[in-house]
Amino acid sequence: FTAKPLLKPEEIAMLGPHCQANIAALLSGATPSYYVPNCGDSKVSGVVLSLFDSSGGQPEHLIQFAMRPGVPMQSTLFALCEAAARTLRGRNVSVADVTAGKFAVEVTLLMDPTMNGTVAEPDLRGVESRDRALFVVDNNRSCWVFEPSKSPDQLLAAATAGAQVMNTESAAVFSCFTQSTRSAITIENVPRPVVGNDARPAAVAGTFYPGDAAELNRMLDDLLGSDQPAKESWPAVMTPHAGLIYSGRLAADVLKRVEIPETVIVIGPKHTRLGVEWAVAPHRVWKFPTGELAADPDLAARLVAKIPGLTLDAAAHQQEHAIEVELPILHRLAPHAKVVGIAIGGGNWDRCQQFARGLAEVIRELPRPPLLVISSDMNHFARDDENRRLDEIALAAFETLDPRTLLDTVTKNAISMCGVLPATIVLETLRELGQLGRSQRVGYATSADVTGDKSRVVGYAGMLVG
């Protein structure tokens, strides 16, 4: 690492008071100072303006970061002062609060960004804690730590914990040469769980399925058909979750074949960046155009208590479709069932095992086991023939009834089976319970079966397992 300090110590010391004065001026309508006088300027990779509340509240960090080509330090710092003033004005913070020192204003500059491997395989050679911060990124969560008194390994451990890393193999590690008005600083950027309302309203009605109740009922009549196969007892199923016009018939074919108990746990992938990584819906009821299904907040809380990393969070479910598209079919077949919905973001084999052990422990305590529903589509956006080839590889791995084989096969072959983690979790849960002995394919299709376009398709599979 060859980076040198951009600013002298006396120049760094000027930044905090200058920004504090600028924020006060912007709040009062006075003319601010656009540049720090007698202070250098150059491009940097990142500028952080931090507001520390003297009363002990959570600090506010305003960040502008661009590894390449960087950002101009002085003008970026002024832009962050403007953003800070808007933030404080929105909180009804007065100029007097700022000038009286209710908020300590600190500035951190980041330079010379370097990639240092992953959390699983870090390369910290040459990293000196005295002048470099470590930055860990895992999906939509990140944390960087600058603390010269700690060793690089300690910085990595702190940043990994702060970023709430779910998958050490994919979580990236970076370091930056750092100058700060603060002797040590930690900045976490992780979603915070949201309690939400009692009712979870339909998010994708009108897009993934009809928003009109009468039209949706007609579609359900068609999807379920008139034939009523004998219902069998299976502990788990896998159903697709595309728009009902594409995959609803297969999902209905699966669900109408099984005895649906009083409780259903639907585990699907997380398609949006909203909310925490592993989220169980905290709501009391699921609403959709043709009615509603009760949730089970008590069971949801028990799952959170037993499964490491699982959190009650409404934000993760706000726009998620993987659970919602199953609900109208479940409602038609079992209107009195309670549905617990779980959205799964990133993870790895170890985390899936932890989840499965906790889920199995909760299921053992229930008077009657729930139906576990894996909500998953298969491979996405290959040609129809290639999609079918890849999906056959994944389904053959599924049918080994070895969850590790399924996860490894899908990963190794780059098969974009969005619900592979939910499938891995459910298979491992059944193995924990001693209920993993057989599987049955109900059907397979691709979107080309509906659209006729074989150039770019999504695969759908229906499975019974137990």
- Percentage, residues of the chain above pLDDT 70: 100
Q: Write out pLDDT tens, residues 126-171.
A: 999 999 999 999 988 999 999 999 999 999 999 999 999 988 999 9
> How do beta strands 278-280 and 311-312 pair?
parallel
On whether the CB atoms of residues 437 and 466 are closer than 8 A, the answer is yes
Residue 69: the pLDDT is: 87
Among 1-10, 39-48, 276-285, 425-434, whose mean pLDDT is lowest?
1-10
Residue 67: the pLDDT is: 83
Q: How far apart are the C-alpha atoms of 419 and 375, rounded to whole Å?
A: 6
Residue 411: the pLDDT is: 97
On whether the CB atoms of residues 181 and 52 are closer than 8 A, the answer is no
Average pLDDT, the chain: 97
Tokens of 65: 């970061």
Residue 277 has pLDDT above 80, yes or no: yes
Q: What is the mean pLDDT of residues 76-81?
A: 98
More confident of the two residues 150 and 228: 150
Tokens of 131: 């002048």
Cα separation values, 123 from 119, 120, 137, 164, 324, Å: 9, 10, 15, 20, 43
Residue 174 has pLDDT above 80, yes or no: yes
Altogether, the residues listed in the chain come to a count of 466
Cα separation values, 426 from 25, 39, 287, 358, Å: 58, 59, 26, 11
Q: What is the mean pLDDT of residues 265-283?
A: 97
Residue 71 has pLDDT above 90, yes or no: yes
On whether the CB atoms of residues 271 and 418 are closer than 8 A, the answer is yes
Q: How far apart are the C-alpha atoms of 45 and 110, rounded to whole Å?
A: 5
Residue 229 has pLDDT above 90, yes or no: yes
On whether the CB atoms of residues 62 and 133 are closer than 8 A, the answer is no
Q: Write out pLDDT tens, residues 178-187.
A: 999 999 999 9
Residue 357 has pLDDT above 90, yes or no: yes
Q: What is the mean pLDDT of residues 224-228?
A: 93
More confident of the two residues 328 and 91: 328
From 157, 160, 180, 142, select the one nearest 16 (Cα to Cα): 180
Q: What is the mean pLDDT of residues 42-59?
A: 92
Residue 4: the pLDDT is: 86
Q: What is the mean pLDDT of residues 384-408?
A: 99
pLDDT band, residue 360 (cuts 50/70/90): very high
Domain 199-465 matching CATH 3.40.830.10: the answer reads yes
Residue 55: the pLDDT is: 84
Q: How far apart are the C-alpha atoms of 261 and 187, rounded to whole Å?
A: 46
On whether the CB atoms of residues 206 and 238 are closer than 8 A, the answer is no
Residue 98: the pLDDT is: 92
Residue 370: the pLDDT is: 99
Which residue type is seen at 419? G
Q: Write out pLDDT tens, residues 295-334.
A: 999 999 999 999 999 999 999 999 999 999 999 999 999 9
Q: Which residues pair with 115 in a beta bridge?
A: 174
Residue 1 has pLDDT above 80, yes or no: no
Q: Which residues pair with 189 in a beta bridge?
A: 142
User: How is the chain split into domains, by residue range?
Assistant: 9-189, 199-465
On whether the CB atoms of residues 363 and 236 are closer than 8 A, the answer is no
Residue 434: the pLDDT is: 98
